[in-house]
Amino acid sequence: MTITTLPAKPTTAIDPTRLLPAALRDDFPILQQTVHGDRPLVFLDNAASTQRPRQVIEVLRRVYERDYANVHRGIHTLSERSTEQYEDAREKAREFIGAQHAREIIFTSGTTASINLVARSWGDANVKAGDEILVTTMEHHSNLVPWQQLAERSGAVLKHVPITDDGLLILDTLDTLLTERTKIVAVASVSNVLGTINPVREIARRAHAAGAIVLVDAAQSVPHLPTNVQEFGADFLAFSGHKMLGPTGIGVLYGREELLDAMPPFLGGGSMINRVWDDRFTPAELPAKFEAGTPPIAPAIALGAAIDRLKLIGLDAVARHEHELVRYAYDRLREIEGLRILGPPPDHRAGLVSFTLPEPHAHDVAQLLDQQGIAVRAGHHCTWPLHDRLGITASTRASFYLYNTPAEVDLLVEVVAKIRDRFRPQGRKRRQ
Ligand code: PMP
């Protein structure tokens, strides 16, 4: 087995030159509040959904106050304005992930909708009884259940790439897991629980060599790390606007043009047709073929504004900032006796850290943190099979974004340490 786990660097000092300017935080009105009386809000639930800067909120307001009408239909001023801005947003999304053509960018309601679209449209047309679908043990339910459903409909077999105890994919298993029956490999680029950054490029190379295509669940990577679908070798890639400073209800499915072209439409209705008769229809060209009905117009335009904002800050700088915070959090949390961090050392992970304590339960940890103003997530994080693999029922997750600070990490660690102390078995209280 070639997987080796590198030791974490034994340093806990923050390098301020790797951090983003603290003033960025001023752009986020929601972060300027206190909760539970006088506790400043410390928002560490970004893997679930991030907050929006006023530049994005302003664009939403401007669209609704000045430009809004349905797109692609009316020949009037507002419809033209909305259409132009909606298509501009598509172009921004295209550029952001390095896709070749804007028609390869399908607006959906989010990652979940994007993956379901592929499982239904591509899956039903291409996957037959006895074929194989390959996922990993660390997938979010969004990148697992649609494939389970496809396997059930088609009679295909679902297989899983296993992980090490440290939360790294065991890539050697691809030698036997990838066969001539494998039709698709569906993998997260970053795990929403372990934080593991998966070697998508290598997986895609091996999948393609075996004749399979690759779907990348990029919900946790597009917001945080520079992404290029062509470098990844992704055939499909999915992400959500609300995890990257944008609104809810908008997401993207990238698909390679020749694949999308050959796929049947998924939802039927307005906009996705070229011509309709009493008994049949012909589908529209890409991307309209997969955008039936009135799309999320203002959210798409505001996603464009979020992308503008991220580009201005720079994804490299965002990644550096988060890496600095997560390394610091990892090193400090590790010092708490009995605390178990899930997933690999910082050099292999994006900006989040999940952990368990012997006592109390993860939900209680989250509730006690909330009382101090710290928002984290607790539970199985839509990764039940991963939690089964790790032998736990729940974990607590702190996830960072560009507006978080080392002082917030300090507070997190301090409160977690106090919780740990308070729930230590009687007679074993730690002396301060
Ligand atoms: N995949 C991963 C890795 C995620 O973290 C999430 C969101 N938690 C999803 C998919 C689903 O995203 P959405 O709820 O926006 O569809």
Query: CATH 3.40.640.10 residue ranges in the chain?
Result: 56-311
Reading the block at residue 328, the tokens are 């610091």
Give 427 or 281, the one with higher predicted confidence: 281
For the domain spanning 56-311, the CATH number is 3.40.640.10
CATH top class, domain 16-49+314-422: alpha beta
pLDDT the model gives residue 74 = 76
Residues with CB under 6 A from ligand 1: 47-48, 110-112, 140, 142-143, 188, 192, 217, 219-220, 240, 382
Ligand 1 closest atom vs CA 190: 3
pLDDT in tens, 319-349: 999 999 999 999 999 999 999 999 999 999 9
Supply the pTM of this predicted model. 0.96
Q: In angstroms, rounded to a whole number, what is the distance separating the alpha carbons of residues 68 and 12?
A: 50
140 Cα to the center of ligand 1, angstroms:
7
pLDDT band of residue 6 (cuts 50, 70, 90) is very low
pLDDT in tens, 9-18: 446 899 999 9
pLDDT the model gives residue 429 = 53
Q: Are 299 and 322 in contact (CB under 8 A)?
A: no
192 Cα to the center of ligand 1, angstroms:
8
426 tagged catalytic: no
Query: CATH 3.90.1150.10 residue ranges in the chain?
Result: 16-49+314-422
48 Cα to the center of ligand 1, angstroms:
8
Looking at this protein, which amino acid is placed at residue 29? P
Ligand 1 closest atom vs CA 139: 3
Given a cut of 80, whether residue 273 has pLDDT beyond it is yes
- CA 267, 273, 276 angle in degrees (round to 5)? 115
pLDDT band of residue 424 (cuts 50, 70, 90) is confident
Ligand 1 closest atom vs CA 242: 15
Distances (CA, A) of 372 to 42, 128, 138, 294, 414: 9, 53, 31, 43, 11
**Of the candidates 418, 226, 234, the residue with the CA atom closest to the CA atom of residue 322:** 226
pLDDT band of residue 416 (cuts 50, 70, 90) is very high
Q: Mean pLDDT score of the chain, rounded to an integer?
A: 95
pLDDT in tens, 149-173: 999 999 999 999 999 999 999 999 9
pLDDT the model gives residue 427 = 54
Q: Which of 46, 187, 382 to mutate to test the pocket of ligand 1 (most atoms within 8 A of CB)?
A: 382
Of the candidates 102, 259, 382, 392, the residue annotated as catalytic is 382
How many residues are there in the chain? Answer: 432
219 Cα to the center of ligand 1, angstroms:
5
Q: Which of 142, 194, 239, 381 to mutate to test the pocket of ligand 1 (most atoms within 8 A of CB)?
A: 142
pLDDT in tens, 104-142: 999 999 999 999 999 999 999 999 999 999 999 999 999
Q: What is the mean pLDDT of residues 256-277?
A: 97
Which sign does the torsion angle of CA 271, 272, 276, 282 carry? positive
pLDDT the model gives residue 426 = 66
Ligand 1 closest atom vs CA 48: 8
Instruction: Specify the residue with its C-alpha closest to ligand 1, atom 12.
Output: 111
Given a cut of 90, whether residue 5 has pLDDT beyond it is no
- CA 292, 125, 231 angle in degrees (round to 5)? 80
Instruction: Specify the residue with its C-alpha closest to ligand 1, atom 8.
Output: 48
Q: In angstroms, rounded to a whole number, what is the distance separating the alpha carbons of residues 380 and 342?
A: 12
Could you give the angle at which helices 297-313 and 77-96 cross, rounded to 10 degrees? 40
Q: Are 366 and 419 in contact (CB under 8 A)?
A: no
